[in-house]
């Protein structure tokens, strides 16, 4: 999301822009709408493994394609709330302020929404921050069961709202009658980093995309300038040089590349004077909640159109924030079967009736929550924080659901090994002593190096991160065009 959006914005100002991508293009196949293959057999997952601190290998569930993780994302394109840019006290500690305000950042949110053609509606959510423009498209319509759920939740005093989505629903359903969350996008149904960002960038003759290129390290001279990027293509190691290097490999991989670029001049890795590279790893605290009525079926196909933020800024024992509740894509029997061990007829019974929710709370930055490199392998030590907020939100939500007419409510925490909202590992800020990047995502110590992906985030907020990453990319690209490319 970061790299593709940067490339699209910089394309018309560069003589030559080369994108190095480790993955390949996602291509259409019978597997693309096959829930059993995707969720049960991990058809689109890579086979990379990372380690836990005690040496247990796990597959991190990252997607390495042109377009990155956004190829399989749920396309919920949220703005952080204005309060997320300020310091907030949570049950588990402090969420720090950004070095810039929401008001300063807002124009790029608008540009990112316009670019990713977000469908939505302003006015239903009391936490909605100021928008300088309108959404490009009307919201994706709720299906019948979701309309009913919205009315039941509203009767509970909640404020159900339309999810802001980067989805062209007609184009998506033309490819098959499934949801889009965690399904791969091979066309234009999802507005993702390839179908929008890379497509726009490649519309310019100046841009070249090189696939199957695994970046290993950045080479720097003693002044701190990045002189080359070293990457592996097939069996060959190659180098490429440019006036400017933008690193956008995702929060964990960007930090890994900086640490692996250690040299005599920079023994702790690049951009790491603060010793913060790889630290402050965050991912959201999340639960799936399924609400069921034995005599009411949910025939929804895509489902993921509704959210509410009534507990986003309050609800804790001392009125601390709890988080966001939004719909998951429809959980079908093959999806549920890949997650829980029950007889298949019972799985089918549940999946035909359930409405499936995603309950998300903020994870707070902590320098001890970190990724490191040992023997060329990534070690992820996620020290999850603020879990109590998520548990409390789940319990309050379950009460609402029961009162709203769903007698059966089930919940399950999402697996710790899936860092799909990873962020924070190369954070931006004013002080070179505590932040690797300045407020333009430029490394304090390397004037021609920018890191533009989820790693810059100083907090994780409690909404999905992709729109904020895209907005920051557009902001950084504008800065580069104005100050460095003129
Ligand atoms: C199933 C799923 C659902 C999600 N749903 C949502 C949602 O609804 N809304 C939302 O806002 N967010 C969602 N997310 C999260 C969102 O996709 C990410 O936050 C976003 O894509 C992160 O963007 P990024 O630029 O940091 O990195 P990435 O998307 O991870 O992109 C990094 C790119 O760098 C490439 N790369 C990595 N290492 C190297 C290397 N060494 N050399 C060369 N190339 C490399 C990767 O292949 C990839 O193309 C979801 C994620 C997943 C997995």
Rounded distance from Cα 63 to ligand 1 centre (Å): 7
List residues near ligand 1 (CB under 6 A).
1-3, 20-23, 63-64, 68-70, 72-76, 182, 213-215, 248-251, 253, 257, 420-421, 453-454, 464-466, 469
Q: What is the pLDDT of residue 320?
A: 98
Tell which one of 5, 249, 453 to mutate to probe ligand 1, the residue whose CB is within 8 A of the most ligand atoms: 249
Q: Which residue among 466, 473, 477 is best mutated to probe the pocket of ligand 1, counting the most ligand atoms within 8 A of its Cβ?
A: 466
* Portion of the chain with pLDDT greater than 70, in percent: 100
Give the position, in ligand 1's atom list, of the atom nearest the Cα of 254: 38
Does 486 have pLDDT greater than 80?
Answer: no
Residue among 69, 234, 288 to mutate when testing ligand 1 (max atoms within 8 A of CB) = 69
Q: pLDDT at position 61, please?
A: 87
The string of pLDDT tens digits covering residues 300-327 is: 999 999 999 999 999 999 999 999 999 9
Q: Which atom of ligand 1 is nearest to the CA of 62?
A: 53
34-87 pLDDT tens trace = 999 999 999 999 999 999 999 999 999 899 999 999 999 999 999 999 999 999
- Calculate how far, in angstroms, residue 394's C-alpha sits from the geometric centre of ligand 1: 27
Query: 142-194, pLDDT tens digit by residue?
Result: 999 999 999 999 999 999 999 999 999 999 999 999 999 999 999 999 999 99
Q: Which atom number of ligand 1 is nearest to the Cα of residue 466?
A: 11
The mean predicted confidence, pLDDT, of the chain is: 97
**Ligand 1 atom showing the smallest separation from residue 257 Cα:** 41
C-alpha dihedral (221, 222, 226, 231), degrees to nearest 10: 50
């Amino acid at each position: 999301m970061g790299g593709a959006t940067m490339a699209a914005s910089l394309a018309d100002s560069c003589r030559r822009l080369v994108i190095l991508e480790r993955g390949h293009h996602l291509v259409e196949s019978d597997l693309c709408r096959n829930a059993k293959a995707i969720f049960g057999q991990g058809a689109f997952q890579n086979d990379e493994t990372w380690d836990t601190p005690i040496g247990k290998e796990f597959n991190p569930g990252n997607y390495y394609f042109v377009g990155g993780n956004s190829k399989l994302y749920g396309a919920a394109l949220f703005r952080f709330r204005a309060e997320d840019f300020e310091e907030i006290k949570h049950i588990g500690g402090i969420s720090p302020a950004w070095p810039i305000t929401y008001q300063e950042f807002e124009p790029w949110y608008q540009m990112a929404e316009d670019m990713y053609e977000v469908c939505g509606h302003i006015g239903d959510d009391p936490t909605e921050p100021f928008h300088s423009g309108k959404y490009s498209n009307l919201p994706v319509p709720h299906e019948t069961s979701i309309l009913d759920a919205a009315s039941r939740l509203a009767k509970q005093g909640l404020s159900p709202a339309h999810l802001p989505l980067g989805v062209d629903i007609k184009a998506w359903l033309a490819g098959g009658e499934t949801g889009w969350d965690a399904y791969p996008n091979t066309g234009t149904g999802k507005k993702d980093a390839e179908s929008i960002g890379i497509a726009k960038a490649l519309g310019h003759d100046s841009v070249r995309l090189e696939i199957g290129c695994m970046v290993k390290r950045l080479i720097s001279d003693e002044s701190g300038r990045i002189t080359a990027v070293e990457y592996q293509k097939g069996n060959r190691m190659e180098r490429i040089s440019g006036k400017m290097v933008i690193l956008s490999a995702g929060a964990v991989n960007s930090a890994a590349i900086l640490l692996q670029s250690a040299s005599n001049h920079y023994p702790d890795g690049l951009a790491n004077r603060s010793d913060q590279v790889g630290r402050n790893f965050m991912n959201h605290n999340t639960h799936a909640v399924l609400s069921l009525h034995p005599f009411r079926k949910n025939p929804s196909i895509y489902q993921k159109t509704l959210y509410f933020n009534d507990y986003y800024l309050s609800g804790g024992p001392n009125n601390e924030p709890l988080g966001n509740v939004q719909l998951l894509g429809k959980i079908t029997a093959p999806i549920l079967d890949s997650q829980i061990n029950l007889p298949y007829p019972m799985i089918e019974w549940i999946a035909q009736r359930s409405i499936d929710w995603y309950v998300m709370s903020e994870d707070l930055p902590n320098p001890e929550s970190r990724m490191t490199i040992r023997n060329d392998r990534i070690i992820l030590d996620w020290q999850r924080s603020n879990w109590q907020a998520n548990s409390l939100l789940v319990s309050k939500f379950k009460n609402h659901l029961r009162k709203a007419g769903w007698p059966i409510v089930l919940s399950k925490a999402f697996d710790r090994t899936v860092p799909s909202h990873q962020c924070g590992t190369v954070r931006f800020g004013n002080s070179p002593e505590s932040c690797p990047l300045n407020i333009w995502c430029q490394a304090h110590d390397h004037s021609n190096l920018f890191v533009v992906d989820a790693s810059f985030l100083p907090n994780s907020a409690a909404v999905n991160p992709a729109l904020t990453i895209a907005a920051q990319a557009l902001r950084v690209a504008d800065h580069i065009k104005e100050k460095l490319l003129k």
